[in-house]
Amino acid sequence: MPQQILILDFGSQYTQLIARRIRELNVYCEIHPYTHAPDLTEDIRGVVLSGSPCSVRDPEAPNPDLSRYLGRVPVLGICYGAQLLAHQAGGEVLPATIREYGRARLSHLDRSNALVRDLSLDSQVWMSHGDTIKVLPAGFEIIASTPEVDVAAYHLEGQPTYGIQFHPEVTHSSEGKTLMRNFVVDICGCDQSWTPEHFVDSMVLALQHTIGPDEKVILGLSGGVDSSVAALLLHRAIGDRLYGIFVDNGLLRKDEYEGVLHAYKGLGLNVQGVNASQEFYSALAGLSDPEQKRKAIGRTFIEVFDREAHKVEGAKWLAQGTIYPDVIESVSVKGPAVTIKSHHNVGGLPDRMNLKIVEPLRALFKDEVRQVGDTLGLPHNILHRHPFPGPGLAIRILGDITPQKVDLLQRADAIFIDSLRQTGLYDQVWQAGVMLLPIQSVGVMGDERTYEQVVALRAVTSVDGMTADWAHLPYDFLADVSNKIINQVRGINRVVYDISSKPPATIEWE
C-alpha cells in the first residue's frame, strides 16, 4: 500500500474536495465514513477530519473515538472536525452570534507554526459555519484569527494535532493549497510520489498478482474514457487474455461503431464487436416512458453481454470501469440519494456467471483517469471525448424509438458535433448533443408549407456532470449549425437551443 492520508467523512459537502487537494499534491488519500473509521496502519501518515452539517452540541452528532489516531499521527480537523477535537478535549463550542458563510481575511497569524508558516496576513479564507469555538481546552494555542473569529486555527502544544475553522479545500481560500501542503508534506512527511506513472506501474503489478497466469478477463468497452483506460491497463498486465466486448446497441452516434472498433484495433486491443441493434429495437418497441426505456436497455445489455461472455471459454473475471466517485457515493455518510434516473450498468450481470470482479480504476477521480490514459498512450480523441451515456440516443429521442428516428438524430448530431470540432469549441464544452423532440411544427421552405420535427441543441459546461451550466456558444455558430441541420436533414424544420442549467434541469432530457 502507498503512503496515504486518511480522510474521515462527517458528511460535509466538501469532503471530495479535500481528497482532490491532497491528490493534487501527488499524495494518495482515501475517504472513509466516520462510522467505519479504520484502525491505524503503517501506510496512514496523517488524518483529516472533514466538516459536517451537524453541530457538536447536538447529542446525536457524530462523535467517534479518535484516540487511535490522536498523538500517534498528525491530525487536522477542518470546521466540524476542528470543533469536534476541541469539544472532545473539554473546550467550549457555542452558536456564533453571527453565522458566517463566505469570505473572511486572516488578521492574526503565528508564523512560527508549521501549519501556517508561509501564509500571508490578510489572506482570503472561506468560512461556512454556524458554531464557533469560544473556549479552547488546556494546551491548545491559537495560530490564526480573523476579525470575526478568534479561533480560526489552533494547535495542540507538543502534539501534531491541528484544527482550522475555515475551509482550505475550496478554491476561494486563496492559500488553502499551501496550508494543505504544509500539513500533508511537512507535518505528515508524505513524499509526493503518487504520480500517474507510479500508479500504472504498481497497478500493472497488482493486476498480474491478482489475475492467475491462465485466467481470462472480460470487459465491456464503450469507446468512453473509463472503460478504455481500464482496457489499456489490463492489456499491459495480461495482454490478449483480456477480451473486450463492444456492443452496437443501434443507439450509437453516426459511424461510431466502426470508428471505435478501428481505434481499439489500432491500440492492439483484443476487442469483439457485437451488432445487437435489432435486439435493442425490439426491446424498446412501443415504450415511451423514460424509465421503462432505460430499464429495457439495461436488461438487453445484460442479455447480450451474458451471451457473448459465455463464448469466451475459461473467463474468470469481469472488469469494470468503476471510478472513485462511484465508490464514495455508495458508502457516503449521507446515504443513498433518491433515484432521478436509473443509470444502465453492464456490471449488473447475473450471479450464475460466477465471474469475479476486477476494478483497476476504483481509486481514481475522472481527471486522474485521463492522466493515466495519457501516460498509457490513449489517443487524444478518446481521452477528451465528451461523455456519452450508455443508453445512447434512446434518451435523446423523447418518446418511442424507431430506427428512422435514430437515423434522423444521428445526422443532426453529427452536424452539431463536427461543427464544434471544426470551430475549436468542442474542447471548451463538457458535453454536447442533440435532442429529438416528439412534436412537429409548421415551417416554410421554398414557398411550400412544411410540417416537420423539432430538435434541441444541448451543450453544457461542467466539472463532473453533477452540476452544469448551458454553454454560452456564439450566436453566429448557433445560426450556422441551425442552417446546416434544417437544410441538410430532411424531416427537421426547426432548431432550438436549450438554455437550462442543472439543477434544476438535467443534462440529458430523459
Ligand X SMILES: Nc1ncnc2c1ncn2[C@@H]1O[C@H](COP(=O)(O)OP(=O)(O)OP(=O)(O)O)[C@@H](O)[C@H]1O
Ligand Y SMILES: O=c1[nH]c(=O)c2[nH+]cn([C@@H]3O[C@H](COP(=O)(O)O)[C@@H](O)[C@H]3O)c2[nH]1
**Chain contacts with ligand GLN (rule: CB under 6 A):** 12, 51-55, 79-80, 128-131
> By CB under 6 A, is residue 343 in contact with ligand Y?
yes
Q: How far apart are the first and last CA of the chain?
A: 42
Site string for ligand X, 216-255 (x = CB under 6 A): ----xxx-xxxx-----------------xxx-x------
Work out which of 21, 167, 344, 396 binds ligand Y, going by CB under 6 A. Answer: 344
CA distance 337 to 136: 37
123 annotated to a ligand binding site: no
228 annotated to a ligand binding site: yes
Half-sphere exposure of 207 (CA within 13 A, CB side): 29
CA distance 244 to 271: 4
What CA–CA distances, in Å, run from 474 to 420, 421, 423, 478, 498?
11, 14, 11, 6, 14
Work out which of 387, 399, 443, 491 binds ligand Y, going by CB under 6 A. Answer: 387
Asked if 167 is an active-site residue, the reply is: yes
Cell of 205: 503489478
128 annotated to a ligand binding site: no
Half-sphere exposure of 64 (CA within 13 A, CB side): 19
CA distance 216 to 312: 8
CB 444 within 8 A of CB 452: no
- Nearer of residues 117 and 341 to ligand Y, judged by Cβ: 341
Minimum separation from the CB atom of position 433 to Mg ion (A): 12
Minimum separation from the CB atom of position 10 to ligand Y (A): 27
CB 27 within 8 A of CB 194: yes
CA distance 402 to 414: 18
> By CB under 6 A, is residue 341 in contact with ligand Y?
yes
> By CB under 6 A, is residue 390 in contact with ligand X?
yes
Catalytic annotation, pick one of 79, 256, 308, 344: 79
CA distance 140 to 133: 12
Per partner kind, with CB cut-offs from 5 to 8 A, the member of ligand Y, Mg ion, ligand GLN, none near residue 506 is ligand Y
224 annotated to a ligand binding site: yes
Per partner kind, with CB cut-offs from 5 to 8 A, the member of Mg ion, ligand Y, ligand X, none near residue 245 is ligand X
> By CB under 6 A, is residue 252 in contact with ligand Y?
no
Asked if 169 is an active-site residue, the reply is: yes
Q: Which residues is 4 bridged to in the sheet?
A: 28, 44
- Nearer of residues 354 and 506 to ligand Y, judged by Cβ: 506
CA distance 143 to 210: 48
Per partner kind, with CB cut-offs from 5 to 8 A, the member of Mg ion, ligand GLN, ligand X, none near residue 346 is ligand X
> By CB under 6 A, is residue 162 in contact with ligand X?
no
Minimum separation from the CB atom of position 47 to ligand GLN (A): 16
In this structure, are strands 431-445 and 448-462 parallel, antiparallel, or unpaired? antiparallel
CB 85 within 8 A of CB 51: no
Catalytic annotation, pick one of 30, 169, 368, 510: 169
Minimum separation from the CB atom of position 367 to ligand GLN (A): 25
Catalytic annotation, pick one of 167, 235, 279, 344: 167
Cell of 134: 469560544
DSSP E strand boundaries for 84-215? 92-105, 108-109, 124-135, 140-145, 153-156, 161-164
Residues in the chain: 510
Minimum separation from the CB atom of position 203 to ligand Y (A): 23
- Nearer of residues 186 and 508 to ligand Y, judged by Cβ: 508
Minimum separation from the CB atom of position 401 to ligand X (A): 16
Size of the site for ligand Y (CB under 6 A): 13
Stretch that binds ligand Y, among 128-136, 151-159, 247-255, 382-390 (CB under 6 A): 382-390
Per partner kind, with CB cut-offs from 5 to 8 A, the member of ligand GLN, ligand Y, ligand X, none near residue 54 is ligand GLN
Q: Which residues is 443 bridged to in the sheet?
A: 450
Give helix 366-375 / helix 225-238 axis angle, nearest 10°: 40
List, in order, residues 6 or more apart from 262 with CB less than 8 Å away.
none
255 annotated to a ligand binding site: no
Residue 394 DSSP one-character state: G
Helix (H) or strand (E) holding 262: helix 256-266
- Nearer of residues 62 and 391 to ligand GLN, judged by Cβ: 62
What CA–CA distances, in Å, run from 358 to 322, 355, 471?
9, 9, 37
Type of residue at 128? S
Site string for ligand Y, 456-485 (x = CB under 6 A): ---------x--------------------
Binding site for Mg ion (CB under 5 A): 222, 224, 388
> By CB under 6 A, is residue 389 in contact with ligand Y?
yes
- Nearer of residues 77 and 220 to ligand X, judged by Cβ: 220
Indicate which residues carry an active-site annotation: 79, 167, 169
User: Binding site: residue ranges?
Assistant: 222-228
Q: Please give the residue ranges that form the binding site for ligand Y (CB under 6 A).
A: 341, 343-344, 387, 389-391, 431, 465, 502, 506-508
User: Binding site for ATP: residue ranges?
Assistant: 222-228
